[in-house]
Structure 1
Amino acid sequence: MNPNLSQLVLRSQLIRVMEGLEHFVQLDLLELYDNQVEELACLGDGEDGAPGKTLRVLDMSYNVIRDMQPVMFCPNLQELYLANNKLRNMAGLGSLTKLRKIDLGANRIREMDAAELAPLVHLEELWLGKNKIERIEGLSTLKKLRRLDIQSNRLTQVENLTSQTETLEELYLAHNGIATEGTILPSGLGQTFELLNVLDLSRNRLTQVNQLGHLKSLEELWLSGNKIATFDDVQNLSSLGESLQTVYLEYNPLQEDPLYRKKLAELIPSLSQIDATLI
């Protein structure tokens, strides 16, 4: 195989062992998505640190990897995908200072490790859905973060987002245990986010959302499957009438009102979509 190959993609091939990669001296993208790889190997075994030293994109999602520390042999990585593995921590991330996007979804991670996240000052997207994380933390140096996904974890409150108030555009927190009081913290959604246009709080424990009325840049607000019972509980969303285009409130007690759609449309005139249906 050509040692000057720039991209190597071997998806769904039942590969168990990473080997023979040390000869690729110009590899830019390595994708072994959906295999049976147990260990990140050969990433720095070649001449001058090949193939890891030249990699910019590494996709090892849907394997059975338990340790991601060998990613340290890929100092120029900009995108790292390790979703659906068996990782328990973030060890190894801290050396990847050029990263812009990380997907560690569907692993067994319990903590957002500040020591590993702090050096990632260029990070723009962090995807951590379907783990076992109990607290948002470790983001103080990530001042370029635009997308944050911590869906399907064990969160009870939204906090420690003070460094993202000028950059965060999308925040996904569905399927957690966040109650109303967990959305008013001064370091969390109690702040003003200048660019936040998508907020997903579906399938949590919210009883009202009047506390979100100050998020003036919101275009999409997902609140399905909470415990919101009356229109008084969403009254302050009327202040989002200039920007808000889509709202999901299905599977709340509020939806049982026979005039549910009509009242929402009157409350927020800018809406073009209520739940999955266009107005």
Structure 2
Amino acid sequence: MPAPVNKDGGDGHAHIEVPEEHTVHRSDGEPSPGMKNSKGWDGKLRVPKSALLSNPEALSDPEYSDDDNVMNGEEIVADEDLLDDEDSETEEIMCTHSRIGSIPSLRLERFKHVARICLRQNSIQEIDGLQCLAATLEDVDLYDNLINHMRGFDGLTKLKCLDLSFNKIKHIKNISHLTELKDLFLIANKISRIEGLEGLGKLTSLELGSNRIREMRNLETLQNLEELWVAKNKITALTGLAGLPKLRLLSIQSNRIKDLSPLKEVPTLEELYISHNMLESLEGIEENTNLRVIDISNNQISSLKGLGNLTKLEELWASYNQIADFNEVEKELKDKKELTTVYFEGNPLQLRGPALYRNKVRLALPQIRQIDATFVKV
């Protein structure tokens, strides 16, 4: 797959298995005496023979308890002291995966210069307690929490970036007053309708991937929008883009698109990512002459007709389609002087003769520097 880079997320977590024989270490760097691998405690408590224990019965009695000697302590509200060691002059607060359930409990009013706050992967349900940072706050990241509603942004008019991805939001609301906002990320929520964006005239990037959207609409107020990410939804048509005079990147993978002709309303497009849809041809893309990168992988396209006018093309990702004719590849692409990368693996022209495939592509397109994942030797 090509590399349209976004903030997401989404499936970017790497999972690394620890070999069984590796010893688990404590936070102080010493081997943990009661653990031998990544799966946890091995059931044996190891105590040095030289140790003097005041309660040796604790080693042999599973019912042992020393409750009589437990000292009373002061109960601390969760999160209350989490930022006590933070410099009061800091411009950035980051508390990821810290089991935070309440923003007000962090007592953010102590900090007068915070421009960015990142509270990813916590248990926050309500957005409140940020107003005390309104004078300086520009970036709020609440990715992967338990937020249901977009509230709590009153007064935060200096915000430029807002990330509410991987929450439980159903409606885009209460942000139209954030007129300085440039980047809005709402990946993997439960949004079914694009709405509530009026007033966001400075927005340049909108990420709505992995939601429940069926139609692109209510985008016309976003006159400065350059990037629109709507992959993994239920969109059936490329409508609603005509009012976006600066749109240069459209990522609409894994939807239900059959017709490219509405793209003539967006002549500014430079990058189109439309893999995993229902395309059978490239008809309708002829007028998008500014396209540099096209990803049409995993469709049912059998012909490259339509690419003839795209003289600025640099990368074509067309793996796993029905393209079979090397002569057509040469006819449609040989004159593209800027074209350096093509992907055709999984097509009949590759599957029918894998041994000769790369040489045939090189002969047809001598300007190419990368075929699939392999660079061409010059």
TM-score by length of 1: 0.90
| Helix, strand or coil at the partner of 1:254 | helix
Select between 103-112 and 133-142 the one with higher mean Cα deviation: 133-142
Q: Kindly report which structure 2 residues correspond to 1:67-146, keeping only aligned pairs within 5 A, or say none.
A: 67-113=171-217, 116-146=218-248
Q: Post-superposition shift, 1:208?
A: 1.3
Structure 2 CA distance, aligned partners of 1:229 and 1:157? Answer: 22
Q: Which of these residues, 283, 291, 296, is aligned with residue 184 of structure 1?
A: 283
Structure whose CA Rg is larger: 2
**Would you say the 8 A contact 2:266–2:288 is kept in 1?**
no
8 Å contact kept, 1:21–1:42: yes
**Which amino acid in structure 1 is aligned with residue 152 of structure 2?**
C
Alpha-carbon distance, 1:233 to partner: 4.0
SS at match of 1:156: coil
Cα distance in structure 1, aligned partners of 2:213 and 2:198? 16
What residue identity is the alignment partner of 2:147?
A: V
Q: Which residue of 2 aligns with 1:274?
A: 371
| Residue of structure 2 in register with 1:41 after alignment | 151
What secondary structure is seen at the aligned counterpart in 2 of 1:266?
Answer: helix
1:9 alignment counterpart: 118
CA–CA distance in structure 2, aligned partners of residues 168 and 75 of structure 1: 25
Segments of 4+ in structure 1 off by > 6 A?
none
Structure 1 equivalent of residue 264 of structure 2: 162
Q: What is the CA distance between 1:192 and its match in structure 2?
A: 4.4
Identical residues among aligned pairs (%): 39
Letter in 2 for 1:35: N
Letter matched to residue 141 of structure 1: G
Q: CA deviation at 1:54?
A: 1.5
Deviation at 1:3, TM superposition (A): 4.6
- Tell me the alpha carbon deviations over residues 66-112 of structure 1, each in whole angstroms, 9 at most, x when there is no partner: 11112223222111000111100111112311111100011100000
2-structure distance, mates of 1:93, 1:271: 42
- The structure whose residues are more often helix, as a share, is 1
* TM-score, length of structure 2 as denominator length: 0.67
SS in 1 for 2:279: coil
Using the TM superposition, give the Cα deviation of residue 277 of structure 1 relative to its aligned residue in structure 2, in angstroms: 0.7
The separation in 2 between residues aligned to 1:251 and 1:14, in whole angstroms, is 43
Amino acid at match of 1:55: L
Give the Cα–Cα distance (whole angstroms) in 1 for the partners of residues 246 and 215 of structure 2.
21
Q: Aligned to 1:71, what secondary structure does the other structure show?
A: coil
Residues 190-238 of structure 1 show CA distances to partners (whole Å, capped at 9, x for unaligned) of: 2141x31100100111011133122111110000111112323423234
Q: Is the 8 A contact 1:237 1:267 kept in 2?
A: no
1:165-244 counterparts in 2 under 5 A? 165=267, 167-180=268-281, 183-185=282-284, 189-193=285-289, 195-244=290-339
Is the CA contact 2:264–2:288 (under 8 Å) kept in the aligned structure 1?
Answer: no
Q: Return closer, same or farther for 1:148/1:23 CA change in 2, 3 Å cut-off.
A: same
Residue aligning to 2:13: none
| Mean CA deviation greater in 252-261 or 267-276 | 252-261
Larger deviation: 265-274 or 70-79? 70-79
Q: What is residue 162 of structure 2 aligned with on the other side?
A: 58
Question: Could you tell me which residue of structure 2 aligns to residue 23 of structure 1?
Answer: 132
RMSD: 1.5
Partners of 2:119 and 2:127 lie apart in 1 by 11
* Structure with the larger RCO, 1 or 2 (CA within 8 Å, 6+ apart): 1
Amino acid at match of 2:188: N
Give the gaps of 5 or more residues in structure 1: 45-49
* In 2, Cα distance between equivalents of 1:100 and 1:216: 26
Other structure's SS at 2:332 match: helix
> What's 2:19 paired with?
none
Distance 1:179 1:54 in 2: 46
Which ranges in structure 2 are unaligned for 5 or more consecutive residues? 1-107
